[in-house]
Amino acid sequence: MKPLFYSFLIFLFLSACTSNPSSTETQTDGGIKIIDVANAERYEGTLDALIEDVYFVQLEASEEALFSEASKVLFAKEEILILDRRNHKVMAFDEEGNFLFKIDQKGNGPGEYQEIFSMAYDDDNNQIILAAPGKFLWFDMQGDFIREVKSTFSYVYISDMAYVGNSQFAIYPDLHGVFDDVTTRSMVLDSNANMVAVYEPFNKAVRTENSTGMYSHFSASKTPLAVGVYSHDVWKFESGEAEIAYRFDFGVDAMPEDFIDTYITDPSLTSQRVREIIAEKDYWAIHGGALQETDQSIFFLSSNRKEYQPALYDMQTKKVMTFSSAIKNDRGDNGYLSFFASHDGYFVTSYNSQLLSGLLDMDKLTAQQKRMVDSIGKEEIPLLWFVKFKKVNEIEVD
Protein backbone atom coordinates (compact mmCIF):
# COMPACT_ATOMS: atom_id res chain seq x y z
CA MET A 1 0.00 0.00 0.00
CA LYS A 2 1.49 3.34 -0.99
CA PRO A 3 1.80 6.03 1.69
CA LEU A 4 -1.01 8.56 1.80
CA PHE A 5 0.84 11.36 3.53
CA TYR A 6 2.86 12.55 0.55
CA SER A 7 3.06 16.22 1.44
CA PHE A 8 4.93 15.33 4.63
CA LEU A 9 7.11 12.86 2.78
CA ILE A 10 7.98 15.35 0.07
CA PHE A 11 9.22 17.70 2.78
CA LEU A 12 11.40 14.95 4.22
CA PHE A 13 12.66 13.95 0.79
CA LEU A 14 13.60 17.50 -0.20
CA SER A 15 15.34 18.02 3.12
CA ALA A 16 17.61 15.08 2.31
CA CYS A 17 18.35 16.27 -1.23
CA THR A 18 20.07 19.60 -0.67
CA SER A 19 22.92 18.50 -2.93
CA ASN A 20 22.69 16.68 -6.24
CA PRO A 21 25.36 14.00 -6.80
CA SER A 22 26.96 13.58 -10.16
CA SER A 23 25.29 11.36 -12.74
CA THR A 24 26.63 9.25 -15.56
CA GLU A 25 26.84 10.67 -19.07
CA THR A 26 24.54 9.06 -21.61
CA GLN A 27 26.41 6.88 -24.09
CA THR A 28 26.55 7.62 -27.79
CA ASP A 29 24.66 5.25 -30.07
CA GLY A 30 28.01 3.71 -31.01
CA GLY A 31 28.28 2.15 -27.54
CA ILE A 32 24.67 0.99 -27.31
CA LYS A 33 23.28 -2.25 -28.73
CA ILE A 34 20.22 -1.46 -30.83
CA ILE A 35 17.41 -4.02 -30.60
CA ASP A 36 15.61 -3.69 -33.93
CA VAL A 37 12.03 -4.64 -33.06
CA ALA A 38 10.65 -2.86 -36.14
CA ASN A 39 12.29 -5.42 -38.46
CA ALA A 40 11.88 -8.47 -36.24
CA GLU A 41 10.83 -11.82 -37.65
CA ARG A 42 7.37 -12.94 -36.60
CA TYR A 43 6.82 -16.44 -35.25
CA GLU A 44 3.32 -17.91 -35.54
CA GLY A 45 3.92 -21.53 -34.50
CA THR A 46 3.41 -23.30 -31.19
CA LEU A 47 5.32 -22.33 -28.08
CA ASP A 48 6.80 -25.81 -27.76
CA ALA A 49 8.89 -25.35 -30.89
CA LEU A 50 10.61 -22.29 -29.39
CA ILE A 51 11.92 -24.17 -26.37
CA GLU A 52 15.21 -26.04 -26.11
CA ASP A 53 14.81 -27.24 -22.54
CA VAL A 54 12.51 -26.82 -19.56
CA TYR A 55 12.38 -28.09 -16.00
CA PHE A 56 10.73 -27.09 -12.77
CA VAL A 57 11.47 -27.09 -9.05
CA GLN A 58 8.66 -27.94 -6.67
CA LEU A 59 8.81 -25.73 -3.59
CA GLU A 60 7.98 -27.23 -0.23
CA ALA A 61 4.32 -26.69 0.61
CA SER A 62 4.44 -27.19 4.37
CA GLU A 63 2.48 -24.78 6.53
CA GLU A 64 5.53 -22.71 7.49
CA ALA A 65 6.66 -22.48 3.87
CA LEU A 66 3.41 -21.22 2.33
CA PHE A 67 3.28 -17.88 0.54
CA SER A 68 0.64 -16.06 -1.51
CA GLU A 69 2.63 -14.82 -4.49
CA ALA A 70 6.16 -14.81 -5.82
CA SER A 71 6.43 -11.06 -6.31
CA LYS A 72 10.18 -11.33 -6.89
CA VAL A 73 12.60 -14.25 -7.16
CA LEU A 74 16.36 -14.00 -6.60
CA PHE A 75 19.05 -16.65 -6.60
CA ALA A 76 21.67 -16.50 -3.85
CA LYS A 77 24.76 -18.71 -3.62
CA GLU A 78 22.77 -21.88 -2.91
CA GLU A 79 19.35 -20.51 -2.04
CA ILE A 80 16.20 -19.38 -3.82
CA LEU A 81 14.73 -16.21 -2.31
CA ILE A 82 11.09 -15.35 -2.87
CA LEU A 83 9.49 -12.06 -1.90
CA ASP A 84 5.79 -12.32 -1.08
CA ARG A 85 4.85 -8.65 -1.30
CA ARG A 86 1.21 -9.37 -0.57
CA ASN A 87 2.01 -10.82 2.87
CA HIS A 88 5.23 -8.84 3.37
CA LYS A 89 7.63 -11.69 3.95
CA VAL A 90 10.63 -13.37 2.35
CA MET A 91 10.84 -17.14 1.91
CA ALA A 92 14.10 -19.03 1.37
CA PHE A 93 14.40 -22.49 -0.21
CA ASP A 94 17.36 -24.59 -1.26
CA GLU A 95 17.96 -25.53 -4.89
CA GLU A 96 15.80 -28.65 -4.47
CA GLY A 97 12.87 -26.60 -3.17
CA ASN A 98 13.23 -27.49 0.52
CA PHE A 99 12.20 -24.72 2.91
CA LEU A 100 15.07 -23.09 4.81
CA PHE A 101 13.83 -19.99 6.61
CA LYS A 102 11.60 -16.96 6.30
CA ILE A 103 11.76 -13.29 7.21
CA ASP A 104 8.40 -12.26 8.63
CA GLN A 105 9.00 -9.37 11.02
CA LYS A 106 5.98 -7.10 10.85
CA GLY A 107 6.01 -4.42 13.53
CA ASN A 108 7.44 -1.02 14.44
CA GLY A 109 10.62 -1.94 16.29
CA PRO A 110 14.22 -2.50 15.16
CA GLY A 111 14.37 -5.21 12.53
CA GLU A 112 10.64 -4.92 11.92
CA TYR A 113 8.58 -3.30 9.16
CA GLN A 114 4.99 -2.54 8.22
CA GLU A 115 5.41 -3.73 4.61
CA ILE A 116 8.13 -4.66 2.14
CA PHE A 117 8.53 -2.64 -1.03
CA SER A 118 11.27 -4.75 -2.62
CA MET A 119 14.25 -7.03 -2.01
CA ALA A 120 17.88 -7.27 -3.16
CA TYR A 121 20.60 -9.86 -2.59
CA ASP A 122 24.10 -8.67 -1.68
CA ASP A 123 26.30 -11.41 -3.15
CA ASP A 124 29.50 -9.79 -1.82
CA ASN A 125 28.42 -10.04 1.82
CA ASN A 126 25.83 -12.82 1.36
CA GLN A 127 23.02 -10.73 2.84
CA ILE A 128 19.40 -9.86 2.03
CA ILE A 129 18.44 -6.17 1.79
CA LEU A 130 14.82 -5.11 2.18
CA ALA A 131 13.25 -1.76 1.35
CA ALA A 132 10.42 -0.84 3.72
CA PRO A 133 8.62 2.40 4.60
CA GLY A 134 11.17 4.68 6.27
CA LYS A 135 14.04 2.21 6.40
CA PHE A 136 16.27 -0.33 4.72
CA LEU A 137 16.99 -3.57 6.57
CA TRP A 138 19.76 -6.17 6.28
CA PHE A 139 19.37 -9.87 7.16
CA ASP A 140 21.82 -12.77 7.01
CA MET A 141 21.24 -16.03 5.15
CA GLN A 142 19.66 -17.65 8.18
CA GLY A 143 17.00 -14.95 8.22
CA ASP A 144 18.44 -13.18 11.28
CA PHE A 145 18.31 -9.40 11.50
CA ILE A 146 21.66 -7.60 11.16
CA ARG A 147 20.96 -3.89 11.02
CA GLU A 148 18.70 -1.20 9.62
CA VAL A 149 19.16 2.32 8.30
CA LYS A 150 16.40 4.90 8.44
CA SER A 151 16.15 6.79 5.17
CA THR A 152 13.92 9.50 3.70
CA PHE A 153 14.31 7.84 0.30
CA SER A 154 12.48 4.75 1.50
CA TYR A 155 9.48 6.81 2.60
CA VAL A 156 8.66 7.01 -1.10
CA TYR A 157 7.19 3.85 -2.62
CA ILE A 158 10.03 1.88 -4.24
CA SER A 159 9.06 -0.07 -7.35
CA ASP A 160 12.20 -2.21 -7.24
CA MET A 161 15.79 -2.44 -6.03
CA ALA A 162 18.96 -4.30 -6.98
CA TYR A 163 22.43 -4.84 -5.53
CA VAL A 164 25.10 -3.34 -7.79
CA GLY A 165 28.34 -4.24 -5.97
CA ASN A 166 30.73 -2.47 -3.59
CA SER A 167 28.06 -2.57 -0.84
CA GLN A 168 25.85 -0.29 -2.95
CA PHE A 169 22.33 -0.85 -4.20
CA ALA A 170 20.09 0.86 -6.75
CA ILE A 171 16.43 1.76 -6.28
CA TYR A 172 13.57 2.66 -8.59
CA PRO A 173 11.43 5.23 -6.74
CA ASP A 174 7.81 5.60 -7.70
CA LEU A 175 6.76 8.71 -9.60
CA HIS A 176 6.34 10.40 -6.23
CA GLY A 177 10.11 10.10 -5.82
CA VAL A 178 10.70 12.63 -8.58
CA PHE A 179 11.01 15.86 -6.63
CA ASP A 180 12.75 19.20 -6.99
CA ASP A 181 16.24 18.90 -8.52
CA VAL A 182 16.42 15.12 -8.18
CA THR A 183 14.52 14.32 -11.35
CA THR A 184 15.50 10.72 -11.84
CA ARG A 185 13.98 7.28 -12.27
CA SER A 186 16.82 5.38 -10.58
CA MET A 187 19.48 6.15 -8.01
CA VAL A 188 22.34 4.35 -6.29
CA LEU A 189 22.67 4.37 -2.50
CA ASP A 190 25.60 3.30 -0.33
CA SER A 191 25.46 0.93 2.65
CA ASN A 192 24.18 3.77 4.83
CA ALA A 193 21.44 4.67 2.33
CA ASN A 194 23.18 7.87 1.25
CA MET A 195 22.70 8.86 -2.38
CA VAL A 196 25.80 8.14 -4.49
CA ALA A 197 24.55 8.84 -8.02
CA VAL A 198 21.37 9.35 -10.05
CA TYR A 199 20.55 7.95 -13.47
CA GLU A 200 17.80 8.04 -16.10
CA PRO A 201 16.81 11.73 -16.10
CA PHE A 202 13.07 12.23 -15.74
CA ASN A 203 10.86 15.26 -16.18
CA LYS A 204 10.05 16.68 -12.75
CA ALA A 205 6.67 17.91 -14.01
CA VAL A 206 5.29 14.38 -14.44
CA ARG A 207 1.89 13.78 -12.90
CA THR A 208 0.85 10.54 -11.23
CA GLU A 209 -2.69 11.22 -12.43
CA ASN A 210 -1.49 10.87 -16.04
CA SER A 211 0.66 7.77 -15.70
CA THR A 212 -0.65 4.39 -16.75
CA GLY A 213 1.04 1.09 -16.07
CA MET A 214 3.87 2.98 -14.39
CA TYR A 215 5.95 -0.01 -13.31
CA SER A 216 9.72 -0.02 -13.67
CA HIS A 217 12.06 -2.77 -12.55
CA PHE A 218 15.57 -4.16 -12.39
CA SER A 219 16.01 -7.45 -14.18
CA ALA A 220 16.81 -10.29 -11.79
CA SER A 221 19.68 -11.34 -14.03
CA LYS A 222 23.38 -11.63 -13.16
CA THR A 223 23.90 -7.95 -13.98
CA PRO A 224 20.89 -5.74 -13.12
CA LEU A 225 19.25 -4.09 -16.09
CA ALA A 226 17.07 -1.07 -15.35
CA VAL A 227 13.85 -1.10 -17.36
CA GLY A 228 11.56 1.93 -17.27
CA VAL A 229 8.25 2.47 -19.03
CA TYR A 230 7.83 5.41 -21.44
CA SER A 231 11.42 4.76 -22.47
CA HIS A 232 13.27 2.85 -25.18
CA ASP A 233 16.50 2.62 -23.17
CA VAL A 234 17.70 -0.14 -20.85
CA TRP A 235 20.45 0.74 -18.40
CA LYS A 236 23.02 -1.76 -17.16
CA PHE A 237 24.20 -1.33 -13.57
CA GLU A 238 27.60 -2.52 -12.44
CA SER A 239 29.79 -1.69 -9.47
CA GLY A 240 30.48 2.04 -9.51
CA GLU A 241 28.78 2.85 -12.82
CA ALA A 242 25.68 2.61 -14.96
CA GLU A 243 25.23 3.12 -18.68
CA ILE A 244 22.69 2.58 -21.42
CA ALA A 245 23.30 -0.95 -22.68
CA TYR A 246 20.35 -1.46 -25.06
CA ARG A 247 18.02 0.77 -27.03
CA PHE A 248 14.80 -0.53 -28.58
CA ASP A 249 13.95 0.62 -32.11
CA PHE A 250 10.23 0.30 -32.86
CA GLY A 251 10.51 2.26 -36.12
CA VAL A 252 7.71 4.64 -37.12
CA ASP A 253 5.41 3.19 -34.42
CA ALA A 254 7.80 4.00 -31.57
CA MET A 255 6.60 6.07 -28.67
CA PRO A 256 8.03 9.56 -29.40
CA GLU A 257 10.88 10.84 -27.27
CA ASP A 258 8.79 13.80 -26.11
CA PHE A 259 5.90 11.61 -24.96
CA ILE A 260 6.41 12.37 -21.27
CA ASP A 261 6.78 16.10 -21.87
CA THR A 262 3.67 16.12 -24.04
CA TYR A 263 1.25 13.81 -22.22
CA ILE A 264 2.44 12.84 -18.72
CA THR A 265 2.72 16.49 -17.68
CA ASP A 266 -0.58 17.70 -19.15
CA PRO A 267 -2.99 18.54 -16.28
CA SER A 268 -6.00 18.13 -18.58
CA LEU A 269 -5.32 14.40 -19.10
CA THR A 270 -6.13 11.38 -16.95
CA SER A 271 -4.32 8.05 -16.97
CA GLN A 272 -7.22 6.52 -18.89
CA ARG A 273 -6.97 9.20 -21.56
CA VAL A 274 -3.21 8.67 -21.83
CA ARG A 275 -3.85 4.95 -22.29
CA GLU A 276 -6.35 5.73 -25.05
CA ILE A 277 -3.88 8.05 -26.78
CA ILE A 278 -1.19 5.35 -26.80
CA ALA A 279 -3.64 2.89 -28.35
CA GLU A 280 -5.07 5.38 -30.84
CA LYS A 281 -1.67 6.45 -32.10
CA ASP A 282 -0.33 2.87 -31.95
CA TYR A 283 2.71 3.88 -29.90
CA TRP A 284 4.93 0.90 -29.09
CA ALA A 285 7.35 0.90 -26.16
CA ILE A 286 9.02 -1.52 -23.80
CA HIS A 287 6.78 -2.79 -21.01
CA GLY A 288 8.08 -2.62 -17.44
CA GLY A 289 8.35 -5.79 -15.40
CA ALA A 290 9.15 -8.37 -18.05
CA LEU A 291 12.72 -8.02 -19.38
CA GLN A 292 15.34 -10.58 -18.39
CA GLU A 293 18.77 -11.46 -19.77
CA THR A 294 20.86 -14.61 -20.14
CA ASP A 295 24.27 -15.02 -21.80
CA GLN A 296 22.46 -16.13 -24.97
CA SER A 297 19.38 -13.93 -25.25
CA ILE A 298 17.07 -11.28 -23.84
CA PHE A 299 13.39 -11.97 -23.33
CA PHE A 300 11.28 -8.81 -23.26
CA LEU A 301 7.73 -7.59 -23.55
CA SER A 302 6.53 -4.55 -25.47
CA SER A 303 3.07 -3.02 -25.69
CA ASN A 304 0.92 -0.44 -27.46
CA ARG A 305 -1.83 -0.72 -24.81
CA LYS A 306 -3.91 -2.83 -27.19
CA GLU A 307 -1.73 -5.91 -27.14
CA TYR A 308 1.40 -7.24 -25.47
CA GLN A 309 4.15 -8.68 -27.64
CA PRO A 310 6.85 -10.94 -26.19
CA ALA A 311 10.12 -11.25 -28.08
CA LEU A 312 13.59 -12.79 -28.04
CA TYR A 313 16.80 -10.93 -28.88
CA ASP A 314 19.79 -13.12 -29.78
CA MET A 315 23.04 -11.76 -28.30
CA GLN A 316 25.23 -13.30 -31.00
CA THR A 317 23.28 -12.75 -34.21
CA LYS A 318 21.50 -9.56 -33.03
CA LYS A 319 18.27 -10.95 -34.50
CA VAL A 320 14.88 -10.28 -32.94
CA MET A 321 11.87 -12.60 -33.05
CA THR A 322 8.41 -11.64 -31.84
CA PHE A 323 5.46 -13.91 -31.11
CA SER A 324 1.97 -13.79 -29.66
CA SER A 325 1.48 -13.19 -25.95
CA ALA A 326 -1.28 -15.81 -25.97
CA ILE A 327 0.62 -18.36 -28.03
CA LYS A 328 -0.69 -21.92 -28.09
CA ASN A 329 1.16 -25.06 -27.05
CA ASP A 330 0.70 -28.67 -28.10
CA ARG A 331 -2.23 -29.09 -25.72
CA GLY A 332 -4.09 -26.20 -27.32
CA ASP A 333 -3.85 -24.00 -24.23
CA ASN A 334 -3.42 -20.24 -24.34
CA GLY A 335 -1.76 -18.16 -21.68
CA TYR A 336 0.26 -15.08 -20.87
CA LEU A 337 4.02 -15.55 -21.02
CA SER A 338 6.54 -13.47 -19.08
CA PHE A 339 9.53 -14.10 -16.83
CA PHE A 340 10.80 -12.32 -13.72
CA ALA A 341 14.26 -13.83 -13.28
CA SER A 342 17.03 -15.71 -15.05
CA HIS A 343 19.40 -18.33 -13.70
CA ASP A 344 22.20 -20.37 -15.33
CA GLY A 345 20.97 -19.66 -18.86
CA TYR A 346 17.27 -20.26 -18.07
CA PHE A 347 14.42 -17.79 -17.77
CA VAL A 348 12.39 -18.30 -14.60
CA THR A 349 8.73 -17.89 -13.74
CA SER A 350 6.47 -19.21 -10.99
CA TYR A 351 3.32 -19.34 -13.10
CA ASN A 352 1.57 -22.68 -12.76
CA SER A 353 -0.68 -22.27 -15.78
CA GLN A 354 -1.46 -25.01 -18.29
CA LEU A 355 0.47 -22.94 -20.81
CA LEU A 356 3.70 -23.75 -19.02
CA SER A 357 2.69 -27.27 -18.06
CA GLY A 358 2.45 -28.06 -21.77
CA LEU A 359 5.59 -26.30 -22.93
CA LEU A 360 7.31 -29.43 -24.17
CA ASP A 361 6.53 -33.04 -24.89
CA MET A 362 6.21 -34.78 -21.56
CA ASP A 363 8.98 -37.23 -22.48
CA LYS A 364 11.36 -34.73 -20.93
CA LEU A 365 9.65 -35.12 -17.56
CA THR A 366 9.66 -38.10 -15.22
CA ALA A 367 6.47 -40.03 -14.44
CA GLN A 368 6.28 -38.29 -11.05
CA GLN A 369 6.72 -34.89 -12.67
CA LYS A 370 4.01 -35.67 -15.21
CA ARG A 371 1.57 -36.47 -12.42
CA MET A 372 2.52 -33.25 -10.66
CA VAL A 373 2.00 -31.20 -13.81
CA ASP A 374 -1.37 -32.82 -14.43
CA SER A 375 -2.49 -31.82 -10.93
CA ILE A 376 -1.81 -28.13 -11.54
CA GLY A 377 -5.04 -26.19 -11.13
CA LYS A 378 -6.54 -28.92 -8.97
CA GLU A 379 -4.41 -28.20 -5.92
CA GLU A 380 -1.91 -25.59 -4.86
CA ILE A 381 1.59 -26.71 -5.82
CA PRO A 382 4.18 -23.92 -5.88
CA LEU A 383 6.48 -24.48 -8.85
CA LEU A 384 9.34 -22.53 -10.36
CA TRP A 385 9.66 -23.13 -14.10
CA PHE A 386 13.08 -22.84 -15.79
CA VAL A 387 12.84 -22.29 -19.55
CA LYS A 388 15.68 -22.17 -22.09
CA PHE A 389 14.78 -20.93 -25.56
CA LYS A 390 16.42 -22.06 -28.76
CA LYS A 391 18.73 -19.65 -30.54
CA VAL A 392 16.71 -17.36 -32.77
CA ASN A 393 18.44 -18.54 -35.95
CA GLU A 394 17.53 -22.15 -35.07
CA ILE A 395 13.80 -21.42 -34.92
CA GLU A 396 11.86 -22.15 -38.10
CA VAL A 397 9.60 -19.31 -39.14
CA ASP A 398 6.69 -20.13 -41.46
Instruction: Kindly state the average pLDDT of the residues 259-272.
Output: 90
The confidence band for 4, taking pLDDT boundaries of 50, 70 and 90, is very low
Residue 50 pairs with which residues in a beta bridge?
Answer: none
Cβ atoms of 54 and 339 closer than 8 Å: no
Neighbour count for residue 337 (Cβ, 10 Å) = 25
Q: What are phi and psi of 194, to 5 degrees?
A: -90, 140
Q: Map out the domains of the chain as residue ranges.
A: 34-394
Helices (H), the chain: 6-16, 259, 271-281, 354-357, 367-374
The confidence band for 338, taking pLDDT boundaries of 50, 70 and 90, is confident
pLDDT at 51: 84
Cβ atoms of 120 and 145 closer than 8 Å: no
pLDDT at 185: 79
What percentage of the chain has pLDDT greater than the value 90?
46
Least trusted range by pLDDT, from 46-50, 150-154, 374-378: 374-378
Cβ atoms of 341 and 57 closer than 8 Å: no
Whether pLDDT at 23 is above 50: no
More confident residue, 246 or 358: 246
Neighbour count for residue 266 (Cβ, 10 Å) = 16
Instruction: Kindly state the average pLDDT of the residues 60-86.
Output: 91
pLDDT in tens, 156-207: 788 899 999 999 999 988 765 555 556 777 889 999 999 888 887 777 787 7
- As to burial, measured by CB atoms within 10 angstroms (0-12 exposed, 13-18 middle, 19+ buried), residue 335 is middle
Whether pLDDT at 105 is above 80: yes
Report the distance separating Cα 85 and Cα 106, nearest Å: 12
Among 150, 194, 156, 197, which residue's Cα sits nearest to residue 173?
Answer: 156
What percentage of the chain has pLDDT greater than the value 70?
80
Among 163, 174, 166, 175, which residue's Cα sits nearest to residue 138?
Answer: 163
Domain 34-394 fold is Neuraminidase (2.120.10)
Report CA-CA distances (Å) from 380 to 98, 103, 354. 16, 22, 13
pLDDT at 381: 67
Cβ atoms of 331 and 47 closer than 8 Å: no
